[in-house]
Amino acid sequence: MRCSYLACIFFLGLGSLWSLSRQMTSLRGSQALSVVKLGPTDMAFFHQTGALNSRANYSIKSVRANLPRAPYYLLSDGGPDFSEAAGELNVSPFRAEGMHLSQSFNPNFTCHGHLQRIAQAARWASQHGAAYLMIWEDDTRMLKPLQSIPDVDLITMGNIDNKHVGFWNNDLREKSMKTPTEKLAPADQRRVKQQDKYAARRGYSAGPGSILRIDPFLKAVDATPATDLQDMYTYTEQDMCWEDFAIGSNLSIRRNPEVQQVTWAFNDGEFVGQTAEPGRNLRCLECLDACKVDCGCAERFSWKELFWSRLEGLGEFVLGGQFNYRTNLFWGRPCGSCKPNCWTPCSATCMSTCPAVVHPQKRPILDCT
């Protein structure tokens, strides 16, 4: 029994030492990047959903807890009228025919239509004093206010690098290049020209939490003929649509360390002036999980569970892994009922570690109020 206990301590310590050693790594060879400080109404939100269920409501409330005055454009995407709930949620309701959410691959969706929808929301946000528009979704959460952002035209998720999308896939590109460039479809001709920029960015990083600077985005949309948009953007995935447009329109793009897919390792590849923190998201989840235990929202892990999770991850440690086994352990269990007035103050103590905005991959288990 004593040996099992010591083994647990040993494996628990391995992860902590590895995380601390990786934190000492910093970026090299990067130019300084200026930032913009945000006022209480500088950032607006564009959120489209089919229904105001508990997940969507928690998403909106997480923004309102941190940015109560931010313009909030809530669009019913083919769903019911949200006017009745708008007052309680402190949002501005709109409605449009279903384009996105009626099924997994909606035949009504086009990137052209999606960009026009975002442009409409951006114009509304500009009229309400905002300079930036953040793309929001039901499974996105704001854990603390965004106080500053990179001074660029499109700020995308910090640790996503989708490389599988359409023509950007290297295998697909090689096949396409067997055809003379002038015979490619307009969309593919554009992507051939963008390939170097795409390669430099190591894949798409757009998704929920992406931020558009309204003025250059609207100028780019207005300067692009509608026929070009229809030809160029007919099959791009929704989350990549605005980044593809931004690349083609020569807008400046940067990834944001304060917007993270929290179940993925912290990516330290492009954050100018930042210290690399590969274990940051794991430490955030560790802290929040401790709050779950302290507030009675979840039972404490057994030594057996911790031991086997460490043993399973030993090979990952030796090979320089990112501790996905521990992340999944923390992330895989939901919140139960918490002690009154416990979760909010306890989770606030974790915010120095956590990113400001997280995308929790469809699992709303941060909602432990």
Confidence check: pLDDT of 210 > 90: yes
Q: What is the predicted pLDDT for the residue at 20? A: 36
E strand map for the chain: 35-37, 43-49, 72-77, 92-96, 132-136, 141-142, 148-150, 154-157, 211-213, 253-256, 259-260, 357-358
What digits encode the pLDDT tens for the residues 26-64?
A: 333 344 568 899 999 999 999 999 899 988 999 999 999
Q: What is the predicted pLDDT for the residue at 15? A: 46
What is the CA angle 250-253-256, rounded to 5?
Answer: 175
- Least confident window among 36-40, 179-183, 329-333: 179-183
- Tell me what percent of the residues of the chain surpass a pLDDT of 70: 68
Highest mean pLDDT among 139-148, 244-253, 259-268: 139-148
Task: Specify the 3-state DSSP secondary structure of 163.
Answer: coil
Confidence check: pLDDT of 2 > 70: no
- Least confident window among 158-172, 201-215, 294-308, 325-339: 158-172
pTM: 0.81
pLDDT band of 362, cuts 50, 70, 90: confident
Across 101-112, average pLDDT: 66
Q: What is the predicted pLDDT for the residue at 323? A: 65
Helix (H) or strand (E) holding 313: none
Task: Specify the 3-state DSSP secondary structure of 156.
Answer: strand
- Domain map (residue ranges) of the chain: 2-26+275-353, 40-162+204-260
How many CB atoms sit inside 10 A of residue 212's CB? 30
pLDDT band of 277, cuts 50, 70, 90: low
Which CATH number applies to 40-162+204-260? Answer: 3.90.550.10
90: DSSP letter: T
- Least confident window among 87-91, 158-162, 333-337: 158-162
- Least confident window among 22-26, 288-292, 302-306, 365-369: 22-26
Q: What is the predicted pLDDT for the residue at 8? A: 45
Where is pLDDT greater, at 124 or 192?
A: 124
